[in-house]
Structure formats: C-alpha cells, structure tokens
Amino acid sequence: MDLLANLSLGFGVALTPINLLYAFIGCFLGTLIGVLPGIGPVATIAMLLPATFSLPPVSALIMLAGLYYGAQYGGSTTSILVNLPGEPSAVVTCIDGYQMARQGRAGPALAAAALGSFFAGSVGVLLLAAFAPPLMLLAAEFGPAEYFSLMILGLIGAVVLASGSLLKAIAMVLFGLLLGLVGTDVNSGIPRFSFDIPELIDGIGFVVIAMGIFGYGEIVSNLGRSEKEREVYTAKVHGLFPTRRDFKDMAPAVLRGTCLGSLLGVLPGGGALLGSFAAYAFEKKVRTKPDELPLGKGNIRGVAAPESANNAGAQTSFIPMLTLGIPPNAVMALMIGAMIIHNIQPGPQVLTRNPALFWGLITSMWIGNLMLVILNLPLIGIWIKMLKVPYRFLFPAIVLFCAIGVYSMNNNTFDIWMLAGFGFVGYVFIKLGCEPAPLVLGFILGPMMEENLRRALLLSLGDWSTFVTRPLSAGLLATALLFLLVMLSPAVKKKRREAFEE
Amino acid sequence: MKIKSQKDFFSGLLFMGLGIAFGWGALGYKLGDAGRMGPGYFPLILGSLMAVLGAVITLKALVGKSEGGDRIGSWAWRPLVFVLSSNLVFGLLLGGLPSISLPPTGLIAGIFGLTIIASLAERRFHSRDVLILAAILAVISYAAFIALLKLLMPVWPAFIAG
C-alpha cells in the first residue's frame, strides 16, 4: 500500500512533540482571533502569519494548518453565536445556527459544526492523499498554455461565486492582477508601476493587501454601524454536548454534506462555498421528520451539512493547490503566499523534491483538524467569553496586531503606510459593494499568469490560437466559458440572487 | 438622467479610472508583440479590459432596473480617519522618519499612540479604559513578539536605548 507508506511518512514528520505543539498553538491562536466578530478566516490567517516566520518550514506549515482550521472554526462560532458570517461560505451556517443559539442550543450547534467538520476533514484528507499524486503526474503534461487556461478557469470560478454583480467581480480580478504586476518585471528587469519608490520595486506584500482590505476595511465599516447593529448575542449556553437525538439527526446530514463538499471542492474558484450552499439546499429538500424543526428554524442538520461540506471542500481544494500550485480561493492564496515566504513553491515539484514535507503537510491537516475537536469542544466556554469583549477594546488590538504583522514581514515602516492605504481601498470597496476576494486571488495569480501567457505565446511564435488548439487548454477554457454562460442565463441569475440573499 | 444604482455607477467610474491609469502607465514601457511580450504588454491588455468593463458597469447603472437606488449611504469618516491615522502614527513612532530626521520612539510608544488615536474612532472615549487597554496591549505585544517570537524592532525610544 503506497498510500499507507506515504501517510506513515507524513505522520512520522507531523507527530513529533514539537510539531504537535505548533499544531496546538496554531489551532489555539487561529480560533482565538477567528472568533472575534468581523474578522474572517482570511484576515485571521493574515494577521497570524508572522508568528510562523521564525519556524522551520515543516513546523511552519503545520502551524499554518492549525491556524487555518482554527480560523475556519472560529468563523463558524461567530456565525452561530453572533449571526455574523466571517466569510461567504459561512452564510448558510448562520441561518440555522443562530436560530439554535437563540433557543439556547448554541452548544450542540457548535459541536455539530466541529464534529461534522472533523469527519468531513478526515475524508477530505484521505481523498487528498489518494488523488494528489496521480494528479501531479497529469500536471507534468501541463505546458504554459494549459496553466494559463487553468488560471482563467480558476478566476472565472472565483468570479462566479462572488456575491453581487458579475461584472464588478471581473473588474476586481483585473485590478488584483494589475496590483500583482507592481514591481520588477522578471523578464526585462524593469520596475513597473513603482513610481521610483524603492519599497515598491519588490512588489506589494500580499499580507499588506489582505490585511488592509479584509482587516481594516471591515473594522471601519463595523465602526460605522450603530452599536445596536453589532450587538453580540450571548444568552446562556447550556448543554454543550449534542443529545443522542442530535447525533441521529446530524449523522446523515454530515455524510451528505461531506460527499457534496468533497466533489465540489476540487473545482477551482472556491468550491468550498459552492459546497456549503449546495449542501444546505439539499438538506432543505430532504424530508423532515414529523417531530423535527423545519430547516431555517434551528434544525441541527442545517448546521451540520453545510459545515461538513465547507470543510470537506476546503480540504479537497488543497488538491489543485498542491498539484498545480494554483490557489482556488483567497484563503488558499494566503497559504501559498506563506509557503513562498518559507521558500516552498507549491506545485508538482513539492512531492518529488520534498516528499516528507508534502506528506507531513497532508497529515498535519488531519492533526490540525483533530486538535480542533479536542481543543474546542471543551473550550467553547472561553470562546464565548471572547465574544463578550466589547468591540471598543477589540478593534484597537486588531489594528495594532495587523500593523505589527506587516512591519515584521520586512522590518519596514513603508508597509505600515501601505496598510493604511489599502485599508482605505478596502472600505471604499465595501461601500461600493465590490467583494474583495476575487481581487486577492487575482493578485496572487497576476505574475504567474503573465509568465505563462508570455511563455505560451513565445512557444507558439505569437499565435493566440495555441490556447484553443491544444486539447487540454481548450477543454479548460471551454469549462470556464460554460461557467460564465450558465451564470449569465436568466434562470440561474435569479436563483443565484436568491441564494445570496437568503 | 437618473442613476439607477449609485454603487455600480461609482464603482464603474472607479474601475474605468484605474484601468485607464494602468493602461496609460503601461504605454510607458516597451510593449513588444505577442511572440515577444515586453513589460508593457500584459498590463496594457488588463488595463484596457478593466476600463471597458468599468464603462459597461457605469452605463448599466444608468439604464438597468432600479432597485431602490442602491445608494452608497453615508461614509464613516470618523472611524476611517482615526483608524487609518492611528496606523500612520504607529509607523512614525515605531520606525521614525529619517527624511525629517524623526528618531524612532519604538514599539511601546507606538502602541500607546495607536491605541489612543484608534479609540477616538468611537464617539465615547474613556481615557482611563483606553490607557489600561494600551498598557495591556503593550505587555502582550512585548511578551509575544519580542520575548517569544524574537521579532526585530525598536522597542524603546532611541534616546533611551541609545
């Protein structure tokens, strides 16, 4: 069994006491920051990235995996307790989760989210371990034209899943791509759009953009609302553990969610989101037992299914990232950014050059997931207390940690000024109803896309038809086109609006 | 003409402006051709696309279906100004500004500066609470970033630390 041998290699790396400790710290910090209302997983991970800088790569990745799960779980906690989704994929969790919280059943809702996520995550890890190596062989067939087309597909996917106007999302992608080009052009060595500012020659830091747009923009927008609107719902939470009945209700929902989530997660462009929406829609179709609360009124299935789907999707979305080095969503883009900081270029070469790291990462995903269940079920009480900290104490702390975080990347105050600039940009985007996630994805892909476009056209001697005459590339582009057409069709358009408004 | 969606109208204008700015900037670099792309080629394509999209978004905002105007609403100037300027002050205090020969005053002073200014973003300002918060944050940051993670940054004012 190759799979077993590989997994045991991974566990050998991940299960050292020191790495377990890092997984624990990552999970703990991720949840701690992730539960803060108004801070989604992207901002959480961006804020905590600097904490991993001084570690060796494997430990850093393990801590990152912990952060990732912690942040995700923290996000579901805020969705359930405060009715405030930290990210789009948690929107549907809010519906039934918040209702459960209002009925004093926040505990079972949180446990359902954690246990469902754990199960889904475990399945996802197995899928990842089984499918990543063969896909990497396929990746070897990829030339620059295929990479370029795949990135187009990924970006279209991100656009399609953004809430709000399709055109605005595409424009945001373009803006992100352009921002990604700021700095020295690798081919000619000419600094582009850098206005003779030495700090811009190296390009704009990814963390600066993520924190400015997601962190500061959100804070300003939160502060702009009246205090009543951001009131935290913290009624008594009693009975943390689900009853036997809850388990019986949620088990099939978790299974269904896991299946949908893992399938849809592989799609480039934020499959996790699609998964959680699809899973919730599916649960709505499943007949409710006579003595069961209807969905939308606090049914545990409405929490378990989308949370499982979300996590399974998050897990399988590592497949395109690890095999092709292409991030399917903003969180993954951040993870890639972090890996690059640690001198690991995700892509097919990771497995061949550094199998211990690859399998260590995969198993540490699972450990991060397990850590979450062990850590968070008993600690739910503490997280709920975190939610009670008034916002006026929280936001200066968040502003501070963002500022220290970006400064520590380069030890340069210029990054702090830029952070303020992107904070302004982020707030403008919120006011104009432009979702920032596509921008971040575009930002990461910008340089890669230009490079592959350049190489593809160099090989074809400037002939653009190379993208449609190579079968793999044509297939990818056709899929992207199909996505767009489906989304533009009036029927789907209406459905989509309903889904996002729900 | 009435604007049907304020948000779309202005974001369209914004994208148009940005697209034109980037495209125009790209013209300043060597363009080359498809087979041998210069540094200006790809940004020019992206900038032009973005400008066109911006124009379409703006036009659609004028003729599209009206859904209550989709107004932008009032701007949260107070938080915006204080949160962002607290950040700028933090940078100034932490690293100083050599161009105006401002010496760095370090992390701790920066934390107090940031916390106090950021807290002004809220209408109610309790000076005692804010100072306590700043002190707590200073202790946490020192413990986490300096003692534990050993990040390199000036902690105390230059004239004390030398």
Residues of chain A contacting B78 with CB distance shorter than 8 Å:
223
pLDDT at residue A379, as a whole number: 77
Among chain B residues, CA nearest to A415: B91
pLDDT in tens, A8-18: 877 777 778 88
Q: Which pLDDT tens digits describe chain A residue by residue (502 residues)?
A: 577 777 787 777 777 888 888 888 888 888 887 777 666 677 777 777 777 777 787 788 788 878 888 887 777 777 777 776 666 667 778 778 888 877 777 778 888 888 888 888 888 888 888 887 777 777 777 888 888 888 888 788 777 766 667 888 899 999 999 998 998 887 788 888 878 887 788 888 877 888 888 778 878 887 877 655 555 555 556 666 777 777 777 888 888 888 888 887 776 655 566 777 778 878 777 777 766 777 777 788 888 888 888 888 878 877 777 777 777 767 777 777 777 777 777 777 777 777 777 787 778 778 888 887 877 777 777 777 777 777 788 888 888 888 888 887 778 888 899 999 999 999 999 888 888 878 888 888 888 889 889 999 988 888 888 888 888 889 889 988 888 887 777 666 666 555 555 4
Indicate yes or no: CB of B49 within 8 angstroms of CB of A417: no
Q: ipTM value of the model?
A: 0.91
Tokens, residue A149: 């087309």
Taking the C-alpha atoms of residue A169 and residue B14, their distance in angstroms, rounded to an integer, is 13
What's the pLDDT score for residue B23? 92
Q: What is the pLDDT of residues B97-150, one digit of tens each?
A: 877 778 888 889 899 999 999 988 887 778 888 999 999 999 988 887 788 777
User: Pairing mode, if any, of strands A183-184 and A191-192?
Assistant: antiparallel
pLDDT given at position B68: 60
CA distance A171 to chain B (A): 6
Residue A228's pLDDT is 54
User: Are A407 and B129 in contact (CB < 8 Å)?
Assistant: no
Interface test with B, best of A194, A411, A432 (most B CBs within 10 A): A432
Q: Is the dihedral of CA A42, A405, A368, A335 positive or negative?
A: positive
Residues 4-43 of B with CB under 8 A from A: 7-8, 10-11, 14-15, 18-19, 22, 25-26, 29-30, 33-39, 42-43
Nearest CA in chain B to A217: B80
Contact check, Cβ <8 Å, A216/B73: no
pTM of the model: 0.81
3-state DSSP helix/strand/coil percent for chain B, to nearest 5? Answer: 70, 5, 30
Distance CA B145, CA B151 (A): 6
* Helix, strand or coil, per DSSP, at residue B102: strand
Partner-chain contact B137 A187, CB within 8 Å: no
- Residue B114 burial class via C-beta count within 10 angstroms: exposed 0-12, middle 13-18, buried 19 and up: buried
What does the pLDDT read at residue A268?
Answer: 62
Angular region, A270: left φ>0, alpha ψ -120 to 50, beta rest: left
Question: How confident is the model at residue A271, as a pLDDT?
Answer: 58
Structure tokens at A13: 């790396």
Q: Nearest CA of chain A to the CA of B128: how many Å?
A: 12
pLDDT per residue as tens digits for the range B33-60 = 888 888 889 999 999 999 999 999 999 8
Domain residue spans of chain B: 6-70, 77-161
